[in-house]
A and B are shown apart, each in its own frame.
Chain A
């Protein structure tokens, strides 16, 4: 018996060691690129030109951030557009998915199954990009319209289902019934009773929504032509693409980088600084919602 126990212990120790090593490697693979970006945003351009990207700047400098903020107009507009879209969009989106989920979770709502399928069907089949795009541009006038940064991402059936399932398993129906007996109307029950009980759900949905709006570049790419209407992510995308296109030309030998023009080009360190500027705020969100996130996610496990 004792020997068996020893083998068991050895096995467990080996497994744990394997676990620590593999998790360490993957965790580092995930983390180091972020470190690389941050470090090089503080590195002088000359240093990158000489040594390439590295994990330790020879001398620390804020040059890249200064250059980024020298022309504050475009960044300012981009920041404004992203922040407004994120705040307004997250509020409306969480409101819509919890409200819809609430109605469809009510056992005493006779048409809940029919409506649920009406929503669910949109995830099974859709008309594709072109009809949707034409709907948005021709009939709703989203081209160069701030609505295009919010409305296309306002409602997600998956988030509605998450809300519905969370309420189904997290909020006893008796509570709702007794509130009804006491004379509360259906909206009051939602607003005063269900919402305060659904904090983990709200946190999870807010995180999903905030990420969607903050990280959007696709809708901006489809609908926005004017510089002051673009958002942060798309601004970064344009910067990266212009420098990428140039590098491709250089590597094909079509352009010679060694002439004076290179001084005016978007620079490597600036690219990294811009990445930090666009990503920083959303990463700060994580610690605040972390507490609720896992709970919200598990209880509302996605199923139609």
Chain B
């Protein structure tokens, strides 16, 4: 389109034998901008938004190398080199935080995907429409609530004094468990509540993909005598792979970014449990809001951002080699 327009422009002056001048790049730029001025104006709000809330704060990563004080501001505060990072490493925080964030996310991603795909396949085979509709809605329910409400639910189930879980195990003769007094069991609880909240939503995404499969393939397979397992193995699963890869890639790219809501609401500031359940995000939040250690908080934040960025680049590179269709960018 653009090419033809240019050739027309080029030929026209020659025909009238006026000496043709190559339009300057800048002029061309201005003309294009003028032609789509309304589109550009429509882009303006979002553009302003990401500049203010993403790009300008990006320059604030210098804070990681500074000792921030309110009077001098971000750019005026004195430089301290790598002191903030040194302190992070010396205080033996960095490794446990990174490990926790990574391990929890690995479990969240893979178990979450397994459950979502499994339930999508199971639900797809069910024939009772009413049952299907009701239970799908039930599974989707936790997606609608905030982590604060999950905390309320957690207290109602696992509370020491009145929680229903403790009443049930007491009924069967076991001792009550005070979950807030020891870090044991917390990894399981956190994984459970994360699955509880997100599997229903992911399941809908996969179900939509299952619904898009050509029914003729199933008919052909059943005429050939394929049993249900073969049908799942050779038709359903392969058609789900693109969705799985994309969802997985998006999640893996964020593997060093923890779910702040989950950890902050369920664990809170309980020092006993934090040993097993402190992640980078909660640490960054606490250093900023509770101990007001801007330097350490931004150092940890920069460390996390870099880890995320590097992971995405690596993952994208690998995908580009194996299957270019699935790349993120």
Residues of A at the B interface (CB closer than 8 Å) are 4-5, 7-8, 11-12, 15-16, 18-20, 22-24, 26-31, 33-34, 36-37, 40, 48-49, 51-55, 96-97, 99-100, 102-104, 106, 108-111, 115, 117-120, 122, 124-135, 138, 140, 152, 154-155, 157, 160, 185-187, 190, 211, 214-218, 222, 233-234, 236-237, 240-241, 243-244, 247-248, 250-252, 268, 271-272, 274-275, 278-279, 282-283, 285-286, 290, 293-294, 297-298, 301-304
Contact = CB atoms under 8 A, between A and B. Distances in A.
A293 B140 CA distance: 12
A191 to B, nearest CB: 10
A23 B298 contact: no
Interface of B: 1-2, 32, 36, 38-40, 42-43, 45-47, 49-50, 52-61, 63, 73-74, 118-119, 122-123, 125-128, 131, 134-142, 144-149, 151-153, 155-157, 159-164, 166-167, 178, 180-181, 196, 199-200, 204-205, 207-209, 212, 222, 225, 227-229, 243, 246, 250, 253, 260-261, 265, 268, 270, 284-285, 288-289, 294, 297-298, 300-302, 304-305, 308-309, 312, 328-329
B202 to A, nearest CB: 11
B120 to A, nearest CB: 11
A280 to B, nearest CB: 11
Contacts of A217: 146-148
Given A110-B2, A131-B60, A233-B148, A125 B309 contact: yes
Contacts, number: 301
A239 B230 CA distance: 53
Contacts of B268: 241, 244
A283 B289 contact: no
Given A49-B162, A286-B144, A186 B152 contact: no
A268 B159 CA distance: 11
Contacts of A290: 137
Contacts of A297: 204-205, 208
21 contacts: A19-B122, A22-B118, A23-B122, A24-B135, A27-B134, A30-B138, A31-B138, A36-B164, A53-B156, A53-B159, A103-B39, A110-B36, A122-B54, A124-B308, A131-B57, A138-B74, A155-B50, A155-B53, A236-B148, A244-B155, A247-B159
Contacts of B146: 214-217, 233
Contacts of B61: 127-128, 131
A186 B144 contact: no
Q: Interface of chain B, helix or strand or loop or mixed?
A: helix
Given A8-B225, A52-B163, A110-B36, A128 B178 contact: no
A25 to B, nearest CB: 10
Best-buried of B73, B159, B162, B246 by chain A (most CB within 10 Å): B162
B58 A18 contact: no
Contacts of B119: 22-23, 26
Contacts of B122: 18-19, 22-23
Contact of A190 (B42, B152, B157, B300): B42
Best-buried of A19, A130, A248, A279 by chain B (most CB within 10 Å): A130
Contacts of A294: 204, 207-208
Best-buried of A8, A28, A120 by chain B (most CB within 10 Å): A8
A297 to B, nearest CB: 6
Contact of B144 (A27, A157, A241, A283): A283
A131 to B, nearest CB: 2
Contacts of A26: 119, 135, 139, 199
A135 B56 contact: yes
A33 B163 CA distance: 12
Given A52-B163, A133-B288, A154-B49, A237 B265 contact: yes
Nearest to A20: B126
Best-buried of B58, B118, B140 by chain A (most CB within 10 Å): B58
Contacts of B301: 127-131
Contacts of B196: 29-30
B180 A108 contact: no
Nearest to A236: B148
A131 B297 contact: no
Contacts of B160: 247, 251
Contacts of A97: 46
Contacts of A248: 180, 270
B271 to A, nearest CB: 10
B43 A8 contact: no
B138 A28 contact: yes
Contacts of A234: 148
Contacts of B200: 30
The 7 closest A-B pairs by CB, nearest first: A131-B60, A128-B301, A215-B146, A27-B135, A130-B298, A131-B57, A127-B57
